[in-house]
Structure 1
Amino acid sequence: MRSYCAVYVDVGYLLASAATRVTGSSLRSGIEVDYPGLIAGLVAQVETDSGMPLLRVNWYDSGARSGGQPDWHQDQIGLLPRIKLRLGRISYAGEQKGVDVRLGLDLALQGRARVADVVYLVSGDDDLTEAVEEAQSAGVQVVLLSVPGHNGTGHAVSKHLRRAADGEVQIDPEVIDHCVRSRAIPDGLIPKDESAEAGDTEATEVPETTPETGTDADSTPAASSGSTQPDVPVSEPADGQALPSPAMFGRKKATEVVLPTSTPSWTTSTGDLPVIDESGAFNAEIIDAVAKTVLESWCRTATPDALLALRAGKPTIPGELDRALLLDLSGRAGVYDIDDASRHEVRDRFWYHVARVRLA
C-alpha cells in the first residue's frame, strides 16, 4: 500500500500568526493572502520533508457567510486540487464555532483509519493535544507545521501541543512573506497632497488644545475657515483631549482614520523589561503596546463610518478585534492563559487609544 502524508490546517491560527509576522498584529482583516500560492508552498514543503506524496490538505475555517456558508475566497480554495474544505460557523457574537471540533475529530478518526502515515498539523491550539495523541496511538506520526516568528521559534504554539507532537517544522518564511501582504499602502505609493506640500498640515497634525478650555483651538468653523456656521458640539473624553462629536464627523470630508503618533502616557519601548513579572502580572508597557498595535492595524483599512460604529458600540469590542487583543498579548508573553485583570487592562488601553483616533 502506498504511503501518504496529509496536512490539517487551522486557518485561524495560520492567518493570525502570519498577520502578526507581517503587520505586527494578528488582525486578519489587515492582510491580503495569495491562497493558491500559500497552499502550494505548504504542499511542496511537506512532500519534501516527508518524502511522500500528498494525500490532501484539510482546510478548517469559519464560513464567512451566514449559516457557515463559504465566501468567494473559500469557494475558490475548495475548488483547488487535493483540498478538502471543512467549515464551521461564526456565532452572533462573532466567535468561531465548530472549527476546532471538526479538526480534532477528523484528526483522531482519520488517524485510526490510517489514511496517511505522516500528518502535518498547522496549529498551535492546546485543545488539539488529545486529538494528536489519539492519532499517534494508531501509529500515525504527527508533526507540527508552525508559522515562524521573528524570534526564530514557532509563533503561538502551546507548550502541551509541542510536547505531544512528534516534531515541529517551521513553514518556509519566504512562503509567508511572499504570499501574505499587509493591506496598508506603502508610504512611498501614497500620492502627496499639493496643499500639504504648500504648508497646509491641517489633515496630518494632531489638533492643539487650549489650556483654558481643553478644546481644540480650531474646533469651530469660524476659526478654520471664517464661516459663520454655529459651533459644533464637542465631546470631552476622560484624558482631556477634545474629540469631534458625531455631528462634526458628518460634516468633515474625511477619507481615513489615523491613530496619533504621540503617546502622552505610557511609552511602547519595552526594552529589556520582562513581559511578565515575578507575581505573574503582565508588564503595563507590553499591554499598552499590544492595544495600540491592534488598533493601528485596524485603522489602516477602517473608514470614518467604521470608527463611528466602533465608538458607538463601547464598551463592547467587536469579536475580531477582541480576539486579536488576546491572541497578541498571549503571543507576546508566550503564555496560553491570560488572567482576568490583564484582559480588562488590555481592553481599557484599547479604548484609550480609540478615543485618540482622529480623521484625516
Structure 2
Amino acid sequence: MSSWCAVYVDVGYLLASAATRVTGSSLRSGIEVDYPGLVSRLVEQVEADSGLPVLRVNWYDSGSRPGGQPDHHQDQIGLLPKVKLRLGRLSYAGEQKGVDVRLGLDLALHGRARVADVVYLVSGDDDLTEAVEEAQGAGVQVRLLSVPGVNGTSHAVSKHLRRAVDDELLIDLETVDTCVRSRALAPGLVASLGEEDAAVDEIGAPSDDATDETVPGATPSAPEPDTADVGDATSASGEADASEPVPQAEPAGIPVPSPAVLGRKRASEVVLPEPLTATTGPGTESGPGLWDAVAYAVVSSWCRTATPASLAELRAAQPTVPGELDRALLLDLSSRSGAYDIDDAARHGVRERFWHHVGRIRLT
C-alpha cells in the first residue's frame, strides 16, 4: 500500500499571519499573494520533510461570493494540481462560517480512513485540537506547519494545539517573503522625487481656485503660467514683463511623466500621518499603549489600498467597525497580548483608538 502525506491549510490563519509579517497587520486586503508559488513551495517543503509524496493539498477558506461560491482567485486555486478547494461561507455580517467545521471533520474522518500517513496542518486554531487527537487515535502523525512571525518563532498558534500535535515546524521564511507582498510600497522604499521629476509629477494638477466650468459665450482667459513658463518668458535682462500675458507652452513641449516617475507614486491617495506616540517598545505591551499600536497598524494597512470613496464610506459607518477590520483588530490584539480571550475593556479600547486614527487620515 502506498504511503502519502497530506496538507490541510486554514487559509484564514495562513494569510492573516503572513500579512502580519509583511505589513504589521493581519488585514488580508493589505497583501497580494502568488498562490501557485505558495502552494508549490509548501508541497516541496512537506515532501522533503516527510520523504513521502503529497496526496493532496486541502484548501479551507470562505467563499467570497454570495452563497459561499468561489471568487476569481479561489477558482484559480481550485484548478491547481493536487489542490482540493473546501469552502465555507460568509455570513451577512461578513463573518467566516463553516470553515473550521469542514477542516476539523475532514481531519478526523480522513484520519480514520488513513488516507495519509503524515498530515501537515497549517493553522493555529485552538478549536482544531480535538480533531488532531482524533486523527492521531487512528494512527496518523499530525505535524503543525506554522507561519513564522517577525521574531522568527511561530505566529498566533494556540498552546493547546501546539501541545496536541506530534511535531511543529515553520514554513520556510523564503516562501512567505517571496510569495506574499504588500499591495503598496512601504514609505521608506519610495524613492524621493528630484526637482525635475517633481515638476513633471505636478503637471496638470489644478490650482486651489481653478474651475472646470466655462460660461457660454465668454472669452476664455489665459491660464496661469507655472514656474517653467515664467522662466521661458523671462527677458534677456532677467526680468519678466508682468503686464503682458505669458504665452502658454505648446502641447508638444509638455514633458510626459516617465514610467519611473509613475512607479514612484503612492498607490493610494489616502494617507495616515505618523503616530503621535511610539507603536513599539515600552508602554505598548499592554493596556492603552497596546490598543493604540494595534489600531494604528490596522488603519495604516487599510490605507494602502483605500480610496477617498472608501474612506468616506468607512467614516459614515461609525461607530460600527466593518467586519474585516474588526476581526483584524481583535486578532492582532490577541496575538500581541498573548491572550486568547479579549475582555470587553480591551475590545472597546482598541475600537476607540481605531476611530481616533481614522479621524487622522488625510487625502493627498
Class of the TM-score when normalised by the shorter of the 2 chains: 0.7 to 0.9
Number of matched pairs: 305
Measured in 2, the distance between the counterparts of 1:81 and 1:16 equals 24
How far off is 1:286 after superposition? 1.4
- Counterpart among 313, 326, 330 of residue 322 in structure 1: 326
Report the CA distance shift for 1:96/1:131 in structure 2 as closer, same or farther (over 3 A). same
Q: 1:256 is matched with which residue: 269, 283, 289?
A: 269
Q: 1:305 to 1:191 in 2, by over 3 A?
A: farther
- Indicate the structure (1 or 2) with the bigger Cα radius of gyration: 2
> 1:58: which partner in 2?
58
How do 1:16-55 and structure 2 match up within 5 A?
Answer: 16-55=16-55
Inter-CA distance 193–291: structure 2 relative to 1 (3 Å threshold): farther
Distance in structure 2 (CA, Å) of the matches to 1:125 and 1:61? 14
Structure 2 unpaired stretches of 5+: 212-267
Distance across 2 between alignment mates of 1:125 and 1:90: 18
TM-score (norm. length: structure 1): 0.80
**Are 1:129 and 2:129 matched, yes or no?**
yes
Q: Does 1:311 align with 2:315?
A: yes
1:291 paired with 2:304, answer: no
Distance in 2, Cα, partners of 1:271 & 1:21 = 17
Distance 2:50 2:275 in 1: 50
Tell me the CA shift for residue 159 of structure 1.
0.6
Task: State the Cα distance separating 1:226 from its structure 2 match.
Answer: 9.3
- For residues 121-140 of structure 1, what are the alpha-carbon distances to aligned partners after superposition, in whole Å with 9 as ceiling and x for unaligned? 00000010110111111111
Q: Does 1:334 align with 2:338?
A: yes
Secondary structure in 2 matching 1:154:
coil
Q: 2:226: which partner in 1?
A: none
Q: Percent identity?
A: 73
TM-aligned CA deviation for residue 102 of structure 1? 0.2
Q: Distance in 1 between matches of 2:335 and 2:134?
A: 27
Once the 2 structures are TM-superposed, how far is the Cα of residue 167 of structure 1 from its aligned partner? 1.0
Aligned to 2:227: none
Q: Deviations over 1:177-197 (max 9, x none)?
A: 000010013555578497994
Correspondence 1:265-276 to 2 at 5 A? 267-273=277-283, 275=285
Are the counterparts in 2 of residues 268 and 288 from structure 1 also a CA contact under 8 Å?
A: no
CA–CA distance in 2 between the matches of 1:81 and 1:157? 28
Secondary structure at the counterpart of residue 317 of structure 1: coil
Aligned partners of 2:338 and 2:98: how far apart in 1? 25
Separation (CA, whole Å) in 2 of partners of 1:291 and 1:274: 12
Specify every segment of 5 or more residues in structure 1 that has no aligned partner in the other structure, as ranges: 202-221, 228-254, 276-281
> C-alpha separation between the residues in 1 aligned to 2:85 and 2:292?
38
State the alpha-carbon separation in 2 of the partners of residues 70 and 301 from structure 1: 22
Deviation digits for residues 237-278 of structure 1, max 9, x if unmatched?
xxxxxxxxxxxxxxxxxx611112242xxx224424572xxx
Equivalent of residue 304 in structure 2, options 300, 318, 331:
300
For 2:62, give the aligned amino acid. S
Which residue in the other structure is 1:93 paired with?
Answer: 93
Q: Secondary structure at the match of 1:143?
A: strand
SS at match of 1:307: helix
Tell me, yes or no, if the aligned pair for 1:14 and 1:122 is still in contact at 8 Å: yes
State the alpha-carbon separation in 1 of the partners of residues 186 and 17 from structure 2. Answer: 21
* Residue among 344, 347, 351 paired with 2:351: 347
- Cα deviation, 1:71-100, whole Å, max 9, x if unaligned, reads 111111111111100000111100000000
